Amino acid sequence: MKSRNLTSFVASGSSPLGDPVAIDAGGTYECRSHQTESSAYVSSSSTAGDDLTRLSFTDVRFSYPRTSLFGGAPSPVLAGFSWQAPDGCTVILGPNGAGKTTLLSLGATALRPTQGSVSLGDLDSSRRRDLRAFRRSVGWMPQQVRAIPGLTSREQVAYAGWLKGMSRSAAWTEAVTALERVDLTDEADRLTAQLSGGQQRRVGLAQLLVYRADLLLLDEPTAGLDPGQRARFRDLLRQVAQDVPVVVSTHQVDDLTDLFDTVIVMDHGRIPFQGSTEAFMALAPDQSTHQAEAAYAALISDER
Amino acid sequence: MIRLRTAVRVMPVFWFAIPAFLFVGWYASIEPRFPADGYPVGATAAGTATLAFVGSFCAACAAWEGSRLRRARLWDAPSVRSQATIALNALLPVVLVALVAVLVAIAVELVRAGIGLPDLRLIAMTTLDLVAFSVAGFAAGLLLPFAVAGPLAIVASFIWLAFVPAIQPVWLRHLTGMFRDCCGLAQDLAPRALIASSIVDLGIIGAAALLVAGPALVARRVGGAFATLAGAGVAGVLLVGGMTYAPTIPRDTALLECRTDGGVTICTWPEHRARAAQLARIVATVRAGWQNANIDAPSLFTEADPTVAPAGALAVGFIGVSYTEDDIIGALATGMLPADPNCPTGATGGIAVMDLAAWYAAAGGMTPDGLREQHGGAGLGGYPEPLTVVDQLRAATPETRRAWMSRAEQVSQACTDWPLDLITVHP
């Protein structure tokens, strides 16, 4: 398989395999619509007419800044990159260095594109007046959830809410609910630094839930966790995804579950595949025992 | 922090607040100070001397808060709150606790001086100093591990606040915001010292802000911070360069309260209003004594700074609330002395000044005990004791006295070797 130009791929509206791709503007949130009726979670920042779950990149170029005066210009991680996150829940697969973290960091505005724009609905992250609303709508969990020294889980989650613009009292109150959602009520008054790695990830997730983001971007959320913790985190993610669309990056193919509506494979700053989970699985040779790994291997080896 | 209770539990500035308050209160209570004499500017300045300790405390606590954000990687996180708001949230308790510590010291000084209200300019200056130290410490904590940033914040701020005021040139101290050499009753705070130290504080704040939130390129951040700091330093030096050790200007003489009685006018500061009558009586007694001793006594006595006192007036300083009558006579005698000729070390007519001071005090009516206490002791360089000279002058004729005083005043201005023969009293 030859790599494809992403722009033409999106414009064509078809996957590399010719399957329909979930990029229609009026699409439904598969993962969120599973149990819409049971959801009591309503976005606090969405406004009528804005779809603050629709993250898109237009002709984005990004290079990590030089840190030395005499260093040469670093090669761009993304160049001419255009992409629109599909509706529903999405998993981004790709090897280390593929650009997944950069993509999510740009989507969260933790990084700024050197060129091009990143937008969320009508909000353009490069516009000063949009930035606050943009950031309030996106929840980003980086690869490593850091404990804030001295703070308990509840205090850390509340502080995260305050950083996202909540009032102190609202953040303090909502932190209880957020911790409840990630099943950490019993640990609310323990120092975050004393929690296990898996519990700290859940605190990280609660930090996003406390301010009710419209879209969650989770970067390698299960990396470094033992199998039990990973399974538990996936279950948790499944619950969370009922209420809010999620984009998860991972290089671990076994993170791929039926939770996700769309699978994206990223490599060297490009997207050689975007399609449904079924379409992705179909890439595997017929006899494969581990279908997902085989599909991924076929795609990546073809790319390289 | 999200709640006060959380802040009190996790912020070192609260852990150490009570010990800090007790320490600065004790320090202010024992510090030998310039007599504030009921003067708010002097008493407040004496209280701000504790900034040397409180500034370091403040910088170190701020460094801890910076390192907290650094370790949690929150500073560059995509927050809705601005970095300025996040920094303010972290630093406000630090600055407030540190400010309260200085206010405790100022309160102790005010109580010692018997005054009600402090000088607000100095409190504003102190607040700006503390903001500058907290921002600098915070930046250090964001950029460096606390094991480095903490000691660096303590040492750097202590050097700036305690060491720089002790080195030459003496006006360097006016850049630090430490105004402990301000102010006697006849002086006011020099605006250019205030402005210079404010500019330096703003330079520190600007440089620290550039370091933690400036351009991505490290060289540009460092260069910008250095340029900001250097620019502020140069502006400050241009303002205070050439000043003396005291960040003062003469106090506005329009505030003096004058009374004339029997041809003698006495002008005192409002802080001495309650003692004006006593001062008038003492001055009248001293003046009569001087006239009897053939000393030309002025008819105008003023507490104005000597540099702005009217010609022919006797500028009197240091008449403190706790001063005795002998102290006041000593102050009047000192006011009569000729100006210091500022001679090189080892060549001075200073011996003549000692004898003149003893003579003016004795003639003005100082008690024998007072004379022994203030002017007793062996004469220098083979000279007779000043009190022996006084005894000789008491016994001398008016002409001899006048001739001696004339010679002594001339010698006191000469930067020559000890002028033994010139100032000997020749009966």
pLDDT per residue of chain B (427 residues) written in tens, 0 to 9: 778 999 999 999 999 999 999 999 999 888 766 556 788 998 999 999 899 999 999 999 999 999 999 999 999 899 999 999 999 999 999 999 999 999 999 999 998 888 878 999 999 999 999 999 999 999 999 999 999 999 999 999 999 998 998 888 989 999 998 888 888 889 999 999 999 999 999 999 999 999 999 887 788 899 999 999 999 999 999 999 889 899 999 999 999 999 888 788 999 889 888 888 888 888 999 999 999 998 988 989 999 998 898 888 888 875 665 678 898 899 899 888 887 777 666 556 677 788 899 999 999 999 999 998 888 876 666 667 888 889 889 888 989 889 889 888 887 777 766 555 555 665 4
- Predicted model pTM: 0.83
A1: pLDDT strictly greater than 70: no
CA distance A64 to B55: 38
A93: pLDDT strictly greater than 60: yes
pLDDT, chain A, mean? 80
Of the listed ranges A32-46, A209-223, B395-409, the one predicted with least confidence: A32-46
* Interchain contact B74–A (C-beta under 8 A): yes
Question: Which residues touch B253 (CB under 8 Å, ≥6 apart)?
Answer: B267, B302, B304, B308
Which residues in A lie closer than 8 A to residue B143 (C-beta atoms)? none
Identity of the residue in B6, B74, B81 whose CB atom sits nearest the CB atom of A155: B6
Distance from CA of B80 to the nearest CA of A (A): 5
Distance from CA of B232 to the nearest CA of A (A): 25
Helical (H) or strand (E) element with B40? helix B40-47
Over range A230-244, report the average pLDDT: 86
The pLDDT score that the predictor gives to residue B325 is: 87
Tokens of A136: 């309030």
Of the listed ranges A193-202, A278-287, B157-166, B387-396, the one predicted with least confidence: A278-287
Helical (H) or strand (E) element with B27? helix B17-30
Q: Which of A118, A115, A51, A111 minimizes the C-alpha distance to A83? A: A118
What is the identity of the amino acid at B84? A
B348 compared with A160, residue with greater pLDDT: A160
Contact B72 A146 (CB under 8 A): yes
* Interchain contact B420–A (C-beta under 8 A): no
A292: pLDDT strictly greater than 60: yes
Q: A286 pLDDT band (50/70/90 cuts)?
A: confident
The pLDDT score that the predictor gives to residue B168 is: 87
Identity of the residue in A110, A162, A165 whose CB atom sits nearest the CB atom of B2: A162
Question: Which residues touch A301 (CB under 8 Å, ≥6 apart)?
Answer: none
The pLDDT score that the predictor gives to residue B415 is: 74
- Taking CA atoms, B413 is separated from A101, B48, B77, B386, B403, in Å, by 81, 38, 70, 18, 16
ipTM above threshold 0.95: no
Percentage of chain A exceeding pLDDT 70? 78
The pLDDT score that the predictor gives to residue A111 is: 92
Over range A264-293, report the average pLDDT: 84
Contact B2 A168 (CB under 8 A): yes
Distance from CA of B73 to the nearest CA of A (A): 7
The pLDDT score that the predictor gives to residue B377 is: 75
The pLDDT score that the predictor gives to residue B419 is: 56
Which residues in A lie closer than 8 A to residue B76 (C-beta atoms)? 110
Angle, to 10 degrees, between the axis of helix B368-375 and the axis of helix B325-336?
A: 60
Q: Which of A260, A257, A272, A268 minimizes the C-alpha distance to A15? A: A272
* Interchain contact B76–A (C-beta under 8 A): yes
Contact B71 A149 (CB under 8 A): yes
Contact B73 A142 (CB under 8 A): yes
